[in-house]
Chains A and B, each alone.
Chain A
Amino acid sequence: NAGVTQTPKFQVLKTGQSMTLQCAQDMNHNSMYWYRQDPGMGLRLIYYSASEGTTDKGEVPNGYNVSRLNKREFSLRLESAAPSQTSVYFCASERDRNIQYFGAGTRLSVL
């Protein structure tokens, strides 16, 4: 099992460019999450999806959109990247009892 797969691993964008971060899980989990991690800020929830076809805002949703394409895939889109979105992004899927499994992360720099 691959678990949770994120692509790309690294990305550099210019201010104003758009991009989509991809996430796929092969564990048949219903819930999926997107977090960003910044030094000293821990893991902050951007969006989550409790099931296929549903998405909800987390703590820091501004500047992002998400799509739960099917049960396996949950993508995060930056429509117009800003330097403040420079961060490490983690996707996670959730087994029962709230236990989360994380992908390896995407390291994004916006210049």
Chain B
Amino acid sequence: GQQVMQIPQYQHVQEGEDFTTYCNSSTTLSNIQWYKQRPGGHPVFLIQLVKSGEVKKQKRLTFQFGEAKKNSSLHITATQTTDVGTYFCYGGGADGLTFGKGTHLIIQP
């Protein structure tokens, strides 16, 4: 499947600060999904974006899909300790889908 690149690999923030992770592809994505994995846990589906320019919100989390459908972002406003974990994007096209390598969110109280 086509590759999706995710940055940054690690992000340290103070509790209350915002956090953003980005997912990029060199080719057009049919859709993009975001998953969260808590430390010691398994990935859990958060959301799927399908339409160009789509923006979805889940409480403090905002998900965006780029106009060209080649990139996506996950933004967390005012992080809390419960946000700790690794956030993965999952996307692709006709050739198949792959996971990004994930962004580890570390929160300092």
Question: Which of B31, B43, B88 is within 8 Å of A98, CB to CB?
Answer: B31
Interface of chain B, main secondary structure? strand
A27–B103 Cα distance when bound, in Å, is: 29
Q: How far is the CB of B35 from chain A (nearest CB, A)?
A: 8
Among B6, B43, B44, B98, the one with the most A-chain Cβ atoms within 10 Å of its Cβ is B43
Q: B88 and A43: CB pair below 8 A?
A: yes
- Scan residues 60-88 of chain B and give those whose CB is less than 8 A from a CB of chain A: 88
Question: Which of B9, B44, B102 is within 8 Å of A102, CB to CB?
Answer: B44
- Scan residues 19-56 of chain A and give those whose CB is less than 8 A from a CB of chain B: 35, 40-43, 45
Number of interface residues of A (CB under 8 A): 18
A42–B98 Cα distance when bound, in Å, is: 10
Residue of A nearest to B44 (CB): A102
Given the interface pairs A40-B9, A42-B102, A43-B99, the reply to whether A101 lies near B31 with Cβ below 8 Å is no
Given the interface pairs A90-B42, A105-B42, the reply to whether A42 lies near B99 with Cβ below 8 Å is yes
B48 proximal to A (CB < 8 A)? yes
Given the interface pairs A40-B9, A42-B99, the reply to whether A99 lies near B45 with Cβ below 8 Å is yes
Q: A99 and B48: CB pair below 8 A?
A: yes
Q: A98 and B33: CB pair below 8 A?
A: yes
A101–B43 Cα distance when bound, in Å, is: 8
Contacts of A101 in B (CB 8 A): 45
Contacts of A41 in B (CB 8 A): 101
Contacts of A43 in B (CB 8 A): 43, 88, 99, 102
Please list the 10 inter-chain residue pairs (A to B) with the smallest Cβ-Cβ separation, ordered nearest first: A42-B101, A102-B42, A43-B99, A102-B43, A42-B102, A99-B45, A42-B99, A105-B42, A104-B42, A90-B42
User: 7 interchain pairs (CB within 8 A)?
Assistant: A40-B9, A42-B88, A98-B33, A98-B97, A100-B33, A102-B43, A102-B44
